[in-house]
Structure 1
Amino acid sequence: MTFRPLHDRVVVRRITALEKTAGGIIIPDTVKEKPVEGEIVAAGPGARNEAGAIVALDVHAGDRVLFGKWSGTEVKIDGEDLLIMKESDLLGVIEGPHALAKVA
């Protein structure tokens, strides 16, 4: 990727929701909600504190995160739909075996 976020911003790739319910019913595109889960693609160096020192971000490229439904700015980079948002818009990092699932 040729994009580097500045300060405390991160670039997130949405993880697509499942196409079927647990019972096997196929969900049509018209009723699907936007996914609120994604993978960090790139992260900025961090924000500056009052003393002028850079405070590093808590997330890194490859982390799987949750974010608000309407968070971030949607952009298209290299033909891929991505989100750019501040680290404070992230709700949390998903850890454990679920974090290793395939990203679409």
Structure 2
Amino acid sequence: MKLRPLGDRVVIKRVEAEETTKGGIILTASAKEKPQMAEVIAAGPGGVIDGHEVKMELKVGDKVLFSKYSGNEIKFEGEEFIILSQREILAVVEK
């Protein structure tokens, strides 16, 4: 099965959290914060949302930053994902 978001929504998956600090200290699972960086797994088609034309600026594979409390966390086929609106994405990480 596959997730296909509707409207201006995107499905993202968190990237793995760092296991050590820059100073070399190893973090335990309870000390790690959930990362706020994720990869876009699927993006909706955009379209007219609440009377406004929404153009999707995100595409599958983009690395993005998002707010800690945004979106809805779901489990799908044993994996954790977040579904949120494109407007809840704070930035795209470019290399």
Indicate whether the TM-score tops 0.5: yes
Describe the SS at the equivalent of 2:87. helix
Higher helix share: 1
2:72 matched residue in structure 1 = 73
1:36 matched residue in structure 2 = 36
C-alpha deviation, 1:56, in angstroms:
2.5
Higher strand share: 2
Amino acid at match of 1:87: Q
Cα distance in 1, alignment partners of residues 54 and 21 from structure 2? 42
TM-score by length of 2: 0.90
Describe the SS at the equivalent of 1:42. strand
C-alpha deviation, 1:47, in angstroms:
3.5
1:89 matched residue in structure 2 = 88
Q: Percent identity?
A: 46
Paired residue total? 94
Q: Aligned-pair RMSD on alpha carbons?
A: 1.5
Which residues of structure 2 form unaligned runs of 5+? Answer: none
C-alpha deviation, 1:86, in angstroms:
0.3
The 5-angstrom pairing of residues 1-104 of structure 1 reads 2-48=2-48, 50=51, 55-96=54-95
The runs of at least 4 aligned residues of structure 1 exceeding 6 Å deviation read none
